[in-house]
Structure formats: C-alpha cells, structure tokens
Chain A
Amino acid sequence: MDIVPEITRRSITRLINDGKRSDGRAFDERRDIFIEPNVIEKAEGSARVKLGDTQVIVGVKPTIGEPFCDTPNLGVLMTNCELLPMAAPGFEPGPPSPESIELARVVDRGIRESELVDLEKLCIEEGKKVWMLFIDLHVIDYDGNLFDASNLAVMAALMNTKLPVAEYVDDEVVLSENETMDLPVRDKLALSTFVKIGNGLVLDPSLEEEEILDARITIGVTDEGNHICSMQKGGEAPLTRDEILDAVHMAFTTKDDLLSYLD
C-alpha cells in the first residue's frame, strides 16, 4: 500500500470528525454505481461493475464434476479473485496475495451463506454429477472498496447466468444444444463496507479513506430474507459494540437503494 502523507491523513480525519468527507458525500452515501451485465459472450454469466472509479469484471463458467461426498445432492460454487497488476501500482503478478484471498473468501461467504443460489437445482444426478460454478473476479481498477464492487458484480453475473439443460442418461451427462435454464437465484445479497476513521464510520470508502482506515467492517444482508449472512472485520484498530451496531443498522437502511441497481 502507498505511503500516505501525514497531512492528508490529518485533513481527512479532521473532516470526518467534523461530520464531512473529502469528496463531499454523506457518511452513509455510496459513490455512483454502474452495472453492465453480459459483457463476456463466452462466459455463461458475466458483469462489469463500476463503483466510483473502482472497476471489476466477473465471469461465471460452469463445468460438470463430482459432488463432495458429504453433499451428494448439491452443486458446487468456487470463487477466485485476481488483483490484476493493471489495477494499482502496488499490485504484483504472482501467487494470490492475502488481500486477494480475503476478498474472494468474503464475497464467496456472502453468496454461500445466504444460500441465494439453489444448489439442489444444480445437481444433475445425486452422488454422481453436479454443476460446478467457477466465479472469477477480475479487479481492473482499484479506487477503494473492492468488497462491495465485487459483490455487486458477482450478483449481477449470477442473475444473468444461463446453463445448458443437462440430463443424466446411461451413466453420462447429456447437454442440450439449444435449451438453457436460468441459474436458480432466489435471493439477492447486499454487501456494505464501512471504515472507521477518527470518530466516524463511513460507508463505501474511497481509496483515500481506505488507505488511512483504522478499522473496516463488511456486512452482507439478504434482500428477501432480510438477514445478516456474512461479516468481516479488518484493520488494526478495534471497533466498539455501538460502532458495529451502527454499521449493521446502516447496512439495512441502505440495502434497498443498493439492490435497486440489480433490477
């Protein structure tokens, strides 16, 4: 991460302590959101998302595989993330960094725990063959808050994913040439990330804010279910109980607005 001049750190902190943000947003206000689904024709589902100037592309590719033995009737989800070197001066090629693994796992956890994909419907033949969905996250421009941008892109991609109709005939999977089915997505997940700077808790941190954060908290809330289904804290400073409850409350109050972009 880049070195932040002390003067920047102090001016952003002072602003937040006065109830203001350096880009003029309210504490619970997100940057502009832009979603473009189906950007990759060769992917069964895909989307490009811009959150402010942060940009993420997600592609969903299915393969047919064997189910895990403890869940013989469920399809499999796998989420992978690449922080591309093009996205920021400090991102390096090579094996996945702890940051990219955390990002992939937090996004994966939200999708998995909310059970928004009906994995039973991804079973082709119990104990034998199921759909395995690879969700590949490509971060192409990093300007803060990769968690929320990635989750939106994954949601948009899943909601537009189409699989070929599969049948199990004589110990073999036969894929239909022209018939497809929509991926069974039965709920939506809103992922909201807050950072604590000074005395304030702000939603959707910009790069500037993220670089000087004391603590970070990410909260996943389902739309229909109206439940919290994932959380992740980051950063070196602790959060108080009230701060956490404030963040959770804001995650609920800002949820509808966020998810309206997926309609």
Chain B
Amino acid sequence: MSNDKELRADGRAYDELRPIKIEAGVLKRADGSAYLEVGGNKILASVYGPRESYIRRLLKPNTGVIRVRYNMAPFSVDDRKRPGPDRRSTEISKIAADALRPALMLESFPRSMVDVSIEIIEAEGGTRCAGITAAAVALADAGIPMKDIVVGCAAGKVNDQIVVDLSEKEDKEGQADVPIAIMPRTGEITLLQADGNLTEEEFEEALDLAIEGCKKISELQHEALKARYSSE
C-alpha cells in the first residue's frame, strides 16, 4: 500500500495530478470544441453534429451514432510519427467512442451521426484519458444532450508504488498502467484498460485512485464550460 509517501520523479505526491488546463469552445467552425493541457500533453477535441449520416453502413434507424477519430500529430512525439491511422490509434478511437457513448442521449437523433475528433498536438503520457476528457467537454459545448460529462484518468504502478496520472516517463519505466473513464454522477465506468502487472489489491488501489482523479478533473470540466458560457 502507499503508506510510504515517497515523492515521484517529478516531485508529485502519489495521489497528485499533473497541472491541468481545460478550455471550452476554442474552434470557430466546429459545433463544439475543447482544448486541454495536462502535464506536457496538448489536446484538441472537436464535435460536428448531430448531422445526417452519409455513411450508410453506420446509420441506425432508431438512434444516432457516435464516431470518434483519435489522431496523433507527427510532431507530437520525440520520433516523428507517420501521419494517418495505425493499429493503436484505431483501437483508441474505438474505445473512446465506447467510453463516451453511454452518456449521450442519441435516441432523439435517429439516422444521425456525431463526429468527434481528438487531435493529440503534443503527447506526454495519458493521451487517451485526456482525449476522452477533452472530447466530453466538446460534446457538452456542442449542446448534445447528455446524462453526464464523461471524464478519464489513469493510475498505475511505478517503483512498486500505486500512483495516479502517470507521466510519459513513469508510463515507460513503470510496471503497470490502468486508464479508466467514468460518468462521475453515477460513478459508472465507461472505459477500463490495464497493462503491466498488478496484484488484486494493487489493482483495486489503482482503480480507486483513478476514480478519485477523475472526480477532480470532472470539476475542472464543469468550470471550463461555465467559463465558456458566462463570458457570452
């Protein structure tokens, strides 16, 4: 357990998040958008729709559908990433859609499509969670009816200690990573992955720590949306 409160490589406590900044409504053309910085991550999210689904195979006669595209800029990482989708980003796109979908009330928009774009402008560990957090703010900014604002955060194991919100260095050198997303009002988990090795106790500890992190970030999402609509 994390009784030893040894500080982490970047000086954070085990339960301390990296500094976060969230801004809603940053793009002109998009129906909704958000910009998020956490640690060295810089992420933009946009939403178009609900609009008519022009991809027939995606169309559902009784409900709207959500499509997510997670994409990393070639300059977002140390060694240039080749542009375009790869297996990793395809997977993240899919699980991000699954993570966001439960909060959306798309039943009111049959045959329509909501397009979410998550652009990783600069990456420094934990981009999928941060991307989902940003996308949820963009969805709210777009005025899509939602039961809750989904929020993501990861926890993991570094130097045998369970810590929240892994930095890039911790992610690389660490022993485990558990990214999650939740609907904070009910606490329901909409995304869960894990890699590395954790005991049962450690996993539980990591999960609780990540949920706690989600709740803190959730408040910042709300603040960003309030700031966006109080200034207008």
User: What is A's interface to B at a CB cutoff of 8 Å?
Assistant: 39-43, 46, 53, 55, 57, 59-61, 63, 80, 82, 84-89, 93, 95, 134, 136, 138, 140-143
Determine if A42 and B29 form an interchain contact, defined as CB atoms under 8 angstroms apart: no
CA distance in complex: A87, B119 (Å): 11
Residues of B contacting A41 in the complex (Cβ-Cβ under 8 angstroms): 40, 122
Q: B69's contact among A46, A93, A95, by CB below 8 Å, is which? A: A93
Closest to A58 in B: B75
C-alpha spacing A85/B70, complex, angstroms: 11
| B29: A residues at CB distance < 8 A | 53, 87-89, 141-143
Query: Could you say which residues of chain B place their CB within 8 Å of the CB of A80?
Result: 74, 83
4 closest A-B pairs by CB: A59-B75, A86-B46, A86-B117, A43-B75
Residues of chain B with a CB closer than 8 A to A136's CB: 73-75, 80, 83
**Min CB–CB distance A61 → chain B (angstroms):** 4
Most buried by A among B30, B40, B74, B85: B74
Q: What residues of chain A lie closer than 8 Å to B78, measured between beta carbons?
A: 42
Q: Are A42 and B75 in contact (CB under 8 A)?
A: yes
- A138 touching B121 in the complex, CB below 8 Å, given contacts A60-B75, A86-B44, A93-B69: yes
Interface size on B, residues (CB 8 A): 32
Supply 17 A–B pairs (Cβ within 8 Å), ascending by A.
Answer: A40-B73, A40-B75, A41-B40, A42-B76, A42-B78, A42-B122, A55-B27, A57-B73, A59-B76, A84-B117, A84-B119, A85-B117, A86-B30, A89-B51, A136-B73, A136-B75, A136-B83
Contact of B77 among A39, A42, A85, A138 (CB under 8 A): A42
Q: Which residues of chain B are near A39, meaning CB under 8 Å? A: 42, 121
Instruction: Give per-residue flags for B93-128: 1 if the beta carbon is below 8 A from chain A beta carbons, else 0.
Output: 000000000000000000000010101011110000
A40→B28 contact, CB < 8 A = no
The majority secondary structure among interface residues of chain B is loop
Beta-carbon contact of B28 and A141 below 8 Å: yes
Report how far A40 CA is from B76 CA in the complex, Å: 7
- Out of A61, A95, A141, name the residue touching B27 (CB < 8 Å): A141
Q: Does B167 contact A (CB under 8 A)?
A: no
Binding site for A on B (CB under 8 A): 27-30, 33, 40, 42, 44-46, 48, 51, 69, 71, 73-80, 83-85, 115, 117, 119, 121-124
Chain B CB within 10 Å, residue with most, of A60, A80, A141: A141
Interface contact A63-B27, CB-CB below 8 Å: no
B73 adjacent to A85 (CB under 8 Å): no
Looking at the assembled complex, report how far the CB atom of A63 sits from the nearest CB atom of chain B, in whole angstroms: 7
Which single residue of chain A is at the shortest CB-CB distance from B118? A86
- When distances are taken between beta carbons in the complex, the residues of chain A under 8 Å from B71 are 84, 93
In the assembled complex, how far is the CB of residue B66 from the closest CB belonging to chain A, in whole angstroms?
Answer: 14
Question: Are A82 and B83 within 8 A (Cβ)?
Answer: yes
On chain B, the residues within 8 Å of A85 by CB distance are 46, 48, 69, 115, 117
- Select from chain A the residue with minimum beta-carbon distance to B31: A89
Q: Which residues of B contact A138 (CB under 8 A)?
A: 73, 119, 121
Chain A residue at minimal CB-CB distance from B75: A59
Return the chain B residue nearest A80 by Cβ.
B83
Residues of chain A within 8 A of B75, CB atoms compared: 40, 42-43, 46, 59-61, 134, 136
Residue of chain A at shortest CB distance from B74: A136
Bound together, the chains give a CA A87 to CA B27 distance in angstroms of 8
B121 contact set on A, CB distance < 8 A: 39-40, 57, 138
Q: Are the CB atoms of A134 and B51 closer together than 8 Å? A: no
Interface contact B40-A140, CB-CB below 8 Å: no
Residue of B nearest to A207 (CB): B29
Whole-angstrom distance between the Cβ of B133 and the nearest chain A Cβ: 16
CB-defined contacts of A40 to chain B, threshold 8 Å: 42, 73, 75-76, 121-122
Are A140 and B74 interface neighbours, CB within 8 A? Answer: no
CA A189 – CA B80 in complex, angstroms?
Answer: 26
Q: Which of A61, A87, A140 has the most CB of B within 10 A?
A: A140
Question: Residue of B at shortest CB range from A43?
Answer: B75
**CA A177 to CA B76, docked complex, whole Å:** 21
Contact A134 B28 (CB under 8 A): no
Chain A, residue nearest B55 (CB): A92
Selected contact of A86 from candidates B33, B74, B77, B79, CB within 8 Å: B33
Nearest-CB distance from B131 to chain A (Å)?
12
Residues of A contacting B48 in the complex (Cβ-Cβ under 8 angstroms): 85, 89
Complex Cα spacing A260 to B216, Å? 44
Q: How far is the CB of B51 from chain A (nearest CB, A)?
A: 7
Bound state CA distance, A134 and B76, in angstroms?
13
Interface centre among A63, A80, A86 (most CB of B within 10 A): A86
B227 to chain A, nearest CB (A): 20
